[in-house]
């Protein structure tokens, strides 16, 4: 089962605000989009608004299977 696509929409930001988010994203090794999501989740949590985390497929290499005692 695949996750629903993310909602895309245009967002107009003050250039200075975008630059600040871009610096924060770079420092956190995130894209600007991922940084915006993180900042919005933090702001909503601070206001007491719970946001469920969507089931998104994990990116990158699959985890190596764990060794059992029989395999050693």
Overall domain count for the chain:
1
Average pLDDT score over residue span 13-42: 96
- The reported pLDDT for the residue numbered 72 is 55
* Within-domain flag for 5: no
* Within-domain flag for 49: yes
Is the pTM higher than 0.75? The answer reads no
* Within-domain flag for 69: no
* Within-domain flag for 20: yes
Q: Concatenated DSSP letters for 9-45? A: ------HHHHHHHHHHHHHTT--HHHHHHHHHHHHHH
- The reported pLDDT for the residue numbered 29 is 95
* Within-domain flag for 68: no
* Within-domain flag for 63: no
Rounded to whole angstroms, how far apart are CA atoms 15 and 13?
Answer: 6
What's the domain range around 44?
13-53
- The reported pLDDT for the residue numbered 69 is 66
* Within-domain flag for 43: yes
Average pLDDT, the chain: 86
Higher pLDDT, 4 or 40: 40
* Within-domain flag for 44: yes
């Amino acid at each position: 089962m695949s996750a629903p696509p993310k909602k895309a929409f245009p967002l107009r930001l003050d250039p200075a605000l975008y630059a600040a988010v871009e610096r924060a994203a770079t420092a956190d090794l995130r894209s600007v989009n991922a940084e915006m999501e993180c900042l919005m989740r933090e702001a909503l949590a601070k206001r007491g608004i719970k946001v469920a985390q969507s089931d998104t497929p994990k990116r990158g290499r699959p985890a190596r299977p764990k060794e059992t005692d029989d395999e050693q």
